[in-house]
Amino acid sequence: MSVASPSDPAPLVPDPAPRVVDLRSDTVTRPTPLMRQAMARAPVGDDVYGEDPTVLALQERIAELLGHEAALFFPTGSMANLIGVRLLAEPGRELLCDSWGHVVRAELGSHAALGQVTTRTWPSTAGRLDVEAVLELIAPPANPYLVSTAAVAVENTHNFGGGTVQPLPEMQWLRRRTRELGVAVHLDGARLWNAHVATGTPLAEYGACADTVSVCLSKGLGAPVGSVLASSAENIDRARVLRKRHGGGMRQVGILAAAGLYALDHHVDRLADDHLRARTLAERLAQVVPGSVDPTAVETNIVLVRAPGNAPALARAAAERGVLCSATSRHEVRLVTHLDVDDEGIDLAADVLGTLLNP
């Protein structure tokens, strides 16, 4: 065995990898070690046969939380929304939503291509629900020359609106008026947990405002995959058929459902930390570059930064400095706080973006 002499050069130690703060979305969260343990221990069965005990437990729990009779586990939020809307709108009928709604902007036209449902939209400010604008559009049932409105979709919180929380009274008003008109409501509640934590409103009160409700487990709650659709028992029986028809039948998927159950136990209340960090980041950027961010508009975990005509370039420059963000248009960058972003990450993001916005 050779022994290094005092004159031998010291072994090279690689420099630590530069820190990267990923604010592109809360979908980038990774399962925690304890969540992984829960997944490994999960009892499983064949979910297509309805025999996976962990999936059944997750579905029952979320149905109860949302105040609905039943629920169904889906691999993705887009599929949950697709089936949720399809339950309410037959082919050739119409869905109304705001012009920035996820169901029409970020689901690749699936409601038209697969659900055969047409859409019309109303303009909104920060994605906020405007019941009067909805009522102006509703046509139930229309004459033989027009499409009849079957349902209205509401998003809470609103992604492209900047994490906007829909006011409960407005949602309740919409529910009353649509029921009178024979029109259903779908609640895209991918980030409904954030609305619940930000306002203290019970999830069941939001759930009572809609015929179908989708909630996501793989955003702020930090599960690796999965969404759940809640509705009546009859609707969920139909949804199971439609899920299979669209290729969403799953087998021993309790391994994934266990992550959702763990998240419900451990990751809901901590969303308040994400909200606080988002507000802190917004306040720091607004202080450095007045007018770039409106901190008072930050209600949950999403910060919209103004970069007129320069958003893609800003996102690229930030990425080169270790801060990942999304250019949602030519004029706006979106920052999303989540489970994997700590206070040091917020400091880095504020420093990098503040410098780029105010060179």
pLDDT in tens, 36-60: 999 999 999 999 999 999 999 999 9
Architecture (CATH level 2) of domain 33-265: 3-Layer(aba) Sandwich (3.40)
**Residue carrying structure tokens 């028992």:** 233
Q: Which of 88, 126, 85 is closest to 103 using CA atoms?
A: 85
Predicted local confidence at residue 241, as pLDDT:
97
Distance from C-alpha of 117 to C-alpha of 97, rounded to nearest angstrom? 12
Q: Which of 267, 340, 263, 269 is closest to 38 using CA atoms?
A: 263
Tell me the pLDDT band of 9, cut-offs 50, 70 and 90. low
Q: Lowest-pLDDT range, 11-15, 332-336, 349-353?
A: 11-15
Assign residue 192 a region: left if phi > 0, alpha if psi is -120 to 50, beta otherwise? alpha
Q: Is the dihedral of CA 13, 19, 24, 25 positive or negative?
A: positive
Predicted local confidence at residue 143, as pLDDT:
80
Q: What is the DSSP string of 206-240?
A: HHTT-SEEEEESSSTT--SS-EEEEE-HHHHHHHH
Domains of the chain, residue spans: 33-265, 270-357
- pTM, entire model: 0.93
Is residue 212 within 8 Å of residue 290, measured between CB atoms? no
Whether the domain at 33-265 and the domain at 270-357 fall into the same CATH topology: no
Q: Lowest-pLDDT range, 14-28, 256-270, 320-334?
A: 14-28
pLDDT at 13 over 80: no
Assign residue 67 a region: left if phi > 0, alpha if psi is -120 to 50, beta otherwise? left
In CATH, what class is 270-357? alpha beta
Distance from C-alpha of 345 to C-alpha of 323, rounded to nearest angstrom? 9
- Provide the terminal-to-terminal Cα distance of the chain, rounded to the nearest Å: 57
